[in-house]
Amino acid sequence: MSGCEKEDPWGHIPLCSMSRAIVGEGGKTGSWRIQKPILDQGKCVLMRGKAHCHLCWLYCPEGVMSRQTPPVIDYDYCKGCGICAQECVGKAIRMVHEHED
């Protein structure tokens, strides 16, 4: 589904082409994952008074990081690529083995 013509749940109107994760022929594709991102809310700059960041939302190639404070990861579709952890300016996201917390 294109998101350009609609507001997201937080009232933002995307200015670029984007899609949202849905169940497709591959089912819930997060089941392929061998590592997963863990978000430490205390380190997220949004939780420390910054009005804007959302780099994790911007760079996630699967569109499964929400644009809210704090960001929320949709693990049903996150493939564990680690890009969000690489791009996070607050070092708030770390990658762990799928069965680790």
Q: How far is the CB of 49 from ligand SF4 (least distance, A)?
A: 12
Q: Which among 6-14, 17-25, 59-67 is the span making contact with ligand SF4, rule CB under 6 A?
A: 59-67
Nearer Cβ to ligand SF4, position 8 or 54? 54
Stretch 32-51 residues interacting with ligand SF4 (CB under 6 A)? 37, 39, 44-46
Q: Dmax over Cα atoms in the chain, in whole Å?
A: 41
Identity (one letter) of the amino acid at 45? V
Query: Any contact of residue 66 with ligand SF4 (CB under 6 A)?
Result: no
Query: Any contact of residue 88 with ligand SF4 (CB under 6 A)?
Result: yes
Return d(Cα 22, Cα 38) in angstroms, integer.
22
How many angstroms separate the Cα of 42 from the Cα of each of 73, 79, 87?
A: 16, 24, 17
Q: Which residues bind ligand SF4 (CB under 6 A)?
A: 37, 39, 44-46, 53-56, 60, 62, 64-65, 71, 73, 78-84, 88-90, 92-93
